[in-house]
Copies of this chain bind each other. A is one copy, B any other.
Amino acid sequence: MRLDLCTWQEVERYLEHSRGIIIPIGSHEQHGPNGLIGTDAICPEVIARGVGERHQVLVGPTLGVGMAQHHLGFAGSISLRPSTLMAVVADVVSSLVRHGFTHIYFLNGHGGNIATVTAAFSELYAEQSLAGGAAGFHLKLANWFLGRRVMEVTDFLYGGSNGSHATAAEVSLTYYAYPDAAKQVEMSPRVAPDGPFRDSADFRSKFPDGRMGSDPSSACAEHGEQLFEAAVEDTWRTYSQFVDGALRAAR
């Protein structure tokens, strides 16, 4: 169930039997020579919609622009400041809570979002904690690429060379989602360097083609399909635990 394709009455009916929703959150940033700029938005969006269709879970709008300051040295990358992304998360959560949603599951496609979204959750909770009240909502950030099944499939397909940015796994998943957008590019070096970084100038100097530790040359739609299936399974498992576990605890 895609929220954008529902009427408000349909959402009202959904709320009669469920208080949970999935919000895909990603980024628009370079993903190396053969990876798509939208990779980190596309992956959680297609996974979330897969879960939504198979399990009648409502899927909200994809927050497609994230915290990607370190990628701004490469054309086309777009970043929100952490403070801006925190405000976005706060307003989206507040809007949903207003309607009675109590379990908001952010399915994330971008490592660079993790700290900021976590801080955004704390900002929301702090409002309640400082006032001495109790938050009526539960927030969860799940990274699709760290799901149990996804990591098994990733290891099986790429062994230790999946890397940390512009990975074969995420590129494959986008090729599965958008087969026409697949690109054939020779990687040089085969496996990119990896390591820490600071701002966009530092990042570009260390990772000249944008990849970090990865070799996405074997990325393909077939792999992507396997990863999609694994990710839908992971997401449904953790989402339903999140929603039901919390409900059980509340009883």
Contact = CB atoms under 8 A, between A and B. Distances in A.
Interface of A: 2-12, 15, 28, 30-38, 41-42, 60-65, 67, 69-70, 72-84, 86-88, 90-92, 94-96, 98-100, 112, 114-116, 118-120, 122-123, 125-126, 128-135, 138-139, 178, 181, 183, 185, 198-202, 210
Given A119-B115, A123-B81, A7 B28 contact: no
A236 B78 CA distance: 24
Contact of A135 (B95, B133, B201): B201
Contacts of A38: 2-5, 61
Nearest to A5: B181
Given A199-B135, A201-B135, A76 B6 contact: yes
A27 B74 CA distance: 29
A3 B37 contact: yes
Given A7-B183, A9-B75, A114-B115, 8 more contacts: A3-B37, A5-B38, A6-B76, A8-B30, A11-B37, A72-B129, A75-B100, A80-B88
Given A5-B36, A7-B31, A130 B60 contact: no
A31 B11 CA distance: 12
A35 B64 contact: no
Contacts of A2: 38
Contacts of A78: 60-61, 91-92, 95-96
A76 B99 contact: yes
7 contacts: A5-B38, A7-B185, A70-B122, A80-B88, A81-B87, A83-B83, A98-B129
Nearest to A203: B129
A3 B76 contact: yes
A86 B198 CA distance: 17
Nearest to A61: B64
Contacts of A6: 36-37, 76
B5 A82 contact: no
A129 B70 contact: yes
B75 A8 contact: yes
Among A15, A30, A87, A119, max chain B CB count under 10 A is at A119
B4 A28 contact: yes
Contact of A128 (B75, B96, B199): B199
Contacts of A210: 8
A91 B10 CA distance: 34
Contacts of A11: 37, 75-76
